[in-house]
Chain A
Amino acid sequence: MTLFDRKAPFRAVAAELPADGAPLNVSRRVFLGGAGALTLAVALPLRRARGQAADAPPPPAVPAFLELREDGTALLRSPFVEGGQGIFTAMAQIVGEELDLAPDRFEVVNAPAGEDYLVMNGMRLTGGSMSVRFGYDAMRRLGASARAMVLAAAAQELGVDASELTTEPGRVVHAASGRSLGYGELAQAAAAQPVPAQVTLKDPASFRWIRQPVDRIDVRDKSTGRAQYAIDLAVEDMLLAAVVHAPRRGLAPGEIANRAEIEGMRGVHSVQLLPGAVAVLADRWWRARKAVEALEIAWVEGTSETPMPADFSSAGWKAQMLALDGEIADAEVEGDAPGTLAAAETVIEATYDAPFLAHGQLEPPSAIARFNEDGTLEVWTSNQAPEMFQGVAAGLAGLEPGQVSIHSPILGGFFGRHFVYGDANVMPEAIALARAAGRPVKVLWTREEEFLRDALRPLGVATLRAALDAQGLPVALEAVARGEGPTGRWFGAPPGKDDSAVEGLAGKVYAIPNRRVGQRYAKNPAMLGYWRSVGHSMHDFFYEGFLDELAEAGGRDPFELRRTLLAEQPRHLALLEAVGELSGGWKRGPFEAEDGSRRARGVAMASPFGSEVATIAEVSIESGEVRVHDVWVAIDPGEIVNPAIIEAQVQSAVALGLSQALFEEVVYEDGAPQARNYDLYRILSRYEMPRVHTRIVRSGAPMGGIGEPGLPGVPPAVVNAVAALTGQRIRSLPLSNHDLSAQSG
């Protein structure tokens, strides 16, 4: 017997989507994050804040977001969740700037599920590197509105007109009389003021905190163990649950030979069957874990919305993708690439691939579910989209969304992990177990269960073909990706419209007159998810690696080729020059470094999530392994909020991009992942971390994303450097699968 209908999460997600076509498209793109800024701007009513009064947005729900306290501090309920990207600090900077309250006077929490926080066309999620760029105007208006309310309260208190008042951080000043009042003294009266219909935002020239490297507001709590994640939370009278999942999706628990014995173990409350899993509830998680792992479970064929074939292997899937034929759905077409290719004398063709990837965020998934006496449900769990979780939880529990509270603690890393993703998410188990036990239940997955059930970055395969003219310049380029993207999976985006399946092949800015980017769709049996920088995480590697192949075939230096192809793109050209300069001037090598090692450099560019990035990497080969010494990144997000956080995010993106380039690969055999912990799924350690040099270029273009854009350029820059060093062109990640031992030295 199962405790819940496993189809419910999918139905609930679908129910969250707008019914008519146009908003759905926008929602997809919002979720995807790879679409153009224009679409997203339209998607956000609050983006119109800069517009005329006639189409001005409704005033923000100030009391829902912001609470001024009598001690002069503020509680900000952020629409976006903090998971390391620094969003709470950025939100405090932005709101604080307009409110005139120092960022370190803010406590920031993730807002509960609720309509006030649906700041993106009736949705909200933390992803797609969207939080700052699409929360920016709304949060500024929020701060400015709150400041106006404080001023109105002070005007009443002092018996003067608000126009005579000014503020300095945390204080209202009446210069004429020399009187002043702290925000704390005005907090109660300010809350009672009406929210102004219109506010004037500050002139950026007078910014005090925005664009400054303001310290992160959570750094001390995170350096002393005080920061609380989902795993650290507890509610009264809760039971702890540990779970073992079927080794393969689609299997279900059958006979349990030693159930009575296990139920008699110390602290054990009960053994519970779940769809594709068995749980033990106990008074301590460790006892539950020992008990659940001692169960002798016969796994039998069951039913699943997303069954994994018993003979599924990642190698087999790759072979299937390499052989995939059939219709190509066009995603981006300019000129006549097929015609030009057919008539060309010089055609270069290559097929690239990248493996399934796991998120590997350091905090394992956990969730607490509690049914209250009034029939409502409360859930505490790591998530990037509270209303989506609320809808799913309501569907599972047979409640209205308004009867479900979602508490969203800070995330111990996410990288795209914490969407619902059907049975890849822990929350449905907590809800089912809380109902079965009649008590609050906290479920925590072991690292091994997390690797077993994670939603994967899809394995990607693409074939690229290009025609070169007599000067060795590409005149046509065709790129066809094969398989399925996460946006196709979770939001129904059809082939050709699923940016997550082609971004990084599409959206390139080089002057190649004839271009065609398409997708050959094939449904992937694996559970797919978003992974930091999504399609860009592999497609820019395919494209930029191939571009280096074209340079070589055309007898051109790869940096010079890019310069030539960007001659009409001043923003990108400037960025390419910037990264060249940052690295001390472009030199490809091979050359001898000061330590005597032979090294070379590679370059790559990417246009992810509204930002532009140019990357150079310097590599050598040590004992057959690629060693990356330095990575130079020039990033142009248009405009910025916190340069220190941008630098930190570039460091982070370089680390993850390099990790996947060097080692990462989820290998499936017989329908099951082979690595169940970091011992077999290797991630970047301190030893492999390169020096990272960042230059932020503020072109003044519309604000782009920061969390993800630093990643896509890293794998191709490294692979291109390896090719420069060894002459070996690697078209398949990770690099650790390739024998480079002959190249040591």
Chain B
Amino acid sequence: MELTVNGEIRQVDVDPDTPLLWVIREELGLTGTKYGCGIAMCGACTVMVDGIATRSCQTPADAVAGAQITTIEAVEQDEVGRRVVEAWVANNAPQCGYCQSGQVMAAVALLKENPQPTDQDIADAMTNLCRCGTYNAVAAAVRDASNA
């Protein structure tokens, strides 16, 4: 199967229903995308598929063949991504950090679609769970990135 990940075409030999998360982590060795719940609830596995925030743990690999898949490893190759990362750093947003790859990707996808989100837009789009409770710092970082 052929997947386009971070701008590169990659050949992977997996069952078609293998979740994109495990293709990314195990076949491509990109471990920035995290496994949290496996049922598309927590968002730790969020990547962008054609610019849309997507929970890769419930996305079969064959459903995204031909799409542009972007993982956290490529986040700084993009203007919005760089801005989001800088805002994350400036706000000291992460605590344990485990959910933050997914949070950052969700934020990048939001700001690409809606460069000036309201607080409500942020609340609606950023549904990733964080057990450390970084929600306020994450929201502040998204606001900073949108104002930059």
Residues of A that sit less than 8 Å from B by CB: 83-86, 215-216, 218-229, 231-232, 240, 266, 284-286, 360-364, 410-415, 444, 446-448, 644, 648, 651-656, 659, 677-679, 683-687, 689, 691-692
Contacts and interface: CB of A to CB of B under 8 A. Distances in A.
B100 A222 contact: yes
B69 interface: no
B75 A652 contact: no
B96 A84 contact: yes
B99 A362 contact: yes
Contacts of B136: 651, 689, 691-692
Nearest to A361: B131
Given A412-B34, A651-B133, A655-B135, A219 B93 contact: yes
Given A286-B26, A363-B98, A648-B95, A413 B75 contact: no
Given A266-B15, A652-B134, A286 B97 contact: no
A684 B22 CA distance: 27
A223 B96 CA distance: 11
Interface of B: 15, 18-19, 22, 26-27, 30-39, 41-42, 44, 71-73, 75-76, 85, 88-89, 92-101, 104, 123, 126-139
Given A222-B97, A286-B19, A655 B133 contact: yes
Contact of B96 (A215, A362, A444, A692): A362
B97 A684 contact: no
Nearest to B98: A412
B39 to A, nearest CB: 6
Contacts of A679: 39, 41
A91 B122 CA distance: 34
A216 B94 contact: yes
Contact of A678 (B32, B41, B72, B123): B41
Given A84-B96, A362-B98, A689-B133, A678 B89 contact: no
A181 B126 CA distance: 49
Given A220-B89, A363-B34, A413-B131, 6 more contacts: A84-B95, A219-B89, A225-B30, A286-B26, A363-B96, A686-B139
Nearest to A411: B96
A447 B37 contact: yes
Contact of B134 (A284, A285, A651): A651
Given A413-B96, A678-B37, A689-B135, A224 B72 contact: yes
- Listed residue (B15, B37, B38, B131) with the most chain A CB atoms within 10 angstroms of its CB: B131
B22 A362 contact: no
Nearest to B37: A447
A336 B4 CA distance: 75
Contact of A684 (B36, B133, B137, B139): B133
A86 B22 CA distance: 30
A281 to B, nearest CB: 14
Q: Which of B26, B38, B92, B94 has the most CB atoms of chain A within a 10 A radius of its CB? A: B92
A685 B123 CA distance: 10
